[in-house]
Amino acid sequence: MKKKYSIFALIKNSLSYHENWQRAWRDAEPKKEYDAVIVGGGGHGLATAYYLAKEHNLKNIAVVEKGWIGGGNTGRNTTIIRSNYLWDASAGLYDHALKIWENLSQELNYNVMFSQRGVMNLAHNQHDVRELKRRTHANRLNGIDCEWLNVEQVKKFCPIINCSPDIRYPVMGSTLQKRAGTARHDAVAWGYARGADSMGVDIIQNCEVKGIKRKGDAIEGIETTKGFIKTQKVGVVAAGHSSVIANMAGLKLPLESKPLQALVSEPIKPVIDTVVMSNAVHAYVSQSDKGELVIGAGTDAYISYTQKGTHEIIEGTLKAILELYPIFSRLRMLRQWGGVVDICPDASPIISKTSIKGLYFNCGWGTGGFKATPGSGHLFAYTIAKDEPHSLNAAFNINRFVSGDLVDEHGAAAVAH
Partner 1 sequence: MSNNYRLSTGGQISRSEPILFKFNGKTFRGFKGDTLASALLSNGIHLVGRSFKYHRPRGIFTSGVEEPNALVQIIKDQGKTDPNLRATQIEIYEGLNATSQNCWPSVKFDFGSINNFFSPIIPAGFYYKTFMWPASFWEKVYEYFIRKAAGLGKSPTKKDPDIYDHSYHHCEVLIVGAGPAGLVAAKVAANAGKKVLLVDERPNFGGNLNFSNSDYNKINGLKPLEWIKKTCLELQNNKNIKILNRTSVAAYHNYNYLIMVQNLTDHLSDKNKIGKIRQRLWKVRAKKVILATGSIERPMIFDCNDRPGIMLSSAVRKYINTYGVKCGNNISIFSNNDDAYETAITLHNKGVKIKSIIDIREKSDGTLPKKCIELGIKIHWKSAVIYTEGYKKINKIHVMQLSKDNSSVIGRKLKIDCDLLCVSGGYTPAVHLFTQSGGKLDYDEKKHYFFPTKNTLSQISIGSCNGTFGLKNIISESQEKTREFLNIKEVEQLSVLEPKSGDFENIWLLPSNKISGKTKSFVDYQNDSTANDIKLALREGFKSIEHVKRYTTTGMATDQGKIANMHALGIISEITNTKLGELGTTTFRPPYSPITFGALVGRNVGQFFDITRKTPIHDWHEKNNAKFEDVGQWKRAWYYPSEKENMHDSVQRESKAARTSAGILDASTLGKIDIQGSDASEFLNRIYTNAWGKLAIGKCRYGLMLNDDGMVYDDGVTTRLDENHYIMTTTTGGAATVMGKLEDFLQTEWPELKVYLTSVTDHFATISVCGPNSKKILEKVTQSIDYSDSNFPHMSFKNGLIDKIKCRVMRISFTGELSYEINVQANYGQSVWKKCMAAGKEYGITPYGTEAMHLLRAEKGFIIVGQETDGTVTPVDLQMDWIVSKKKYDFIGKRSLYRSDTMREDRKQYVGLLTNDPKEILEEGAQIVAEVKNKPPMNMIGHVTSSYYSPNLNKSIALAVVKNGKNLKGKKLYVPMPNKTIEVIVSDTIFLDKEGKRLNA
Partner 2 sequence: MLIIKCPYCGERDHSEFSYGGEAHIIRPKQPTELSDDQWAEYLFMRKNIKGIQYERWNHSHGCRRWFNMARDTSNDKIHSVYKIGEKPSN
The residue type at 317: T
Query: Which residues, 345 to 364, sit near partner 1 by CB under 8 A?
Result: 345
Is residue 23 within the footprint of partner 1 (CB under 8 A)?
A: yes
Residue 265 binding target from partner 2, partner 1, none, CB below 5 to 8 Å by type: partner 1
- Which residue among 236, 253, 321, 415 contacts partner 2 (CB under 8 A)? 253
Q: Are 104 and 372 in contact (CB under 8 A)?
A: no
Q: Are 293 and 264 in contact (CB under 8 A)?
A: yes
CB 247 to partner 2: min, Å:
7
Q: How far apart are CA 355 and CA 217, in angstroms?
A: 8
- Which residue among 55, 217, 312, 405 contacts partner 2 (CB under 8 A)? 312
Query: If we measure between CA atoms, which residue out of 193, 182, 181 comes closest to residue 43?
Result: 193
Query: If we measure between CA atoms, which residue out of 357, 49, 370, 369 comes closest to residue 204?
Result: 49
DSSP symbol at 73? G
Q: How many residues bind partner 2 (CB under 8 A)?
A: 25
Residue 1 binding target from partner 1, partner 2, none, CB below 5 to 8 Å by type: none
- Which residue among 226, 310, 323, 357 contacts partner 2 (CB under 8 A)? 310
Query: Which residues, 150 to 209, sit near partner 1 by CB under 8 A?
Result: 167-169, 184, 186-187, 190-191, 205
Is residue 334 within the footprint of partner 2 (CB under 8 A)?
A: no
Q: Are 361 and 223 in contact (CB under 8 A)?
A: no
Is residue 99 within the footprint of partner 1 (CB under 8 A)?
A: no
Choose between 167 and 248: whose C-beta lies nearer to partner 1: 167
Choose between 113 and 303: whose C-beta lies nearer to partner 2: 303
CA 157, 159, 164, 167 dihedral sign is: negative
Q: Are 341 and 366 in contact (CB under 8 A)?
A: yes
Is residue 88 within the footprint of partner 1 (CB under 8 A)?
A: yes
Mention every residue, 6+ apart, whose C-beta is less than 8 A from residue 92: 142, 392
Using CB under 8 A as the criterion, what x/- string covers residues 361-390 for binding partner 1? ------------------------------
CA 66, 70, 71, 72 dihedral sign is: positive
- Which residue among 44, 82, 124, 233 contacts partner 1 (CB under 8 A)? 124
Is residue 336 within the footprint of partner 2 (CB under 8 A)?
A: no
- Which residue among 302, 319, 334, 387 contacts partner 2 (CB under 8 A)? 302
Query: Which residues, 254 to 283, sit near partner 2 by CB under 8 A?
Result: 254-257
Mention every residue, 6+ apart, whose C-beta is less than 8 A from residue 373: 43, 44, 47, 74, 97, 188
Is residue 345 within the footprint of partner 2 (CB under 8 A)?
A: yes
Q: How far apart are CA 109 and CA 106, in angstroms?
A: 5
**Stretch of 143-151, 260-268, 299-307, 368-376 contacting partner 2, by CB under 8 A:** 299-307
Count Cβ neighbours within 10 Å for each residue of 31-68 and write b for 16 or more, e otherwise: eeebbbbbbbbbbbbbbbbbbbbbebebeebbbbbbee
Q: How far apart are CA 280 and CA 396, in angstroms?
A: 27
Using CB under 8 A as the criterion, what x/- string covers residues 61-100 for binding partner 2? ----------------------------------------
Using CB under 8 A as the criterion, what x/- string covers residues 9-38 for binding partner 2? ------------------------------
Residue 302 binding target from partner 2, partner 1, none, CB below 5 to 8 Å by type: partner 2
Is residue 291 within the footprint of partner 1 (CB under 8 A)?
A: yes
Q: How far apart are CA 250 and CA 271, in angstroms?
A: 51
Is residue 127 within the footprint of partner 1 (CB under 8 A)?
A: yes
Q: At 241, is the secondary structure helix, strand, or coil? A: helix
Query: Which residues, 208 to 247, sit near partner 2 by CB under 8 A?
Result: 241, 243-244, 247
- Which residue among 311, 319, 335, 386 contacts partner 2 (CB under 8 A)? 311
Query: If we measure between CA atoms, which residue out of 47, 140, 24, 42 comes closest to residue 378?
Result: 47
Binding site for partner 2 (CB under 8 A): 241, 243-244, 247, 252-257, 301-306, 308, 310-312, 342, 345, 401-403
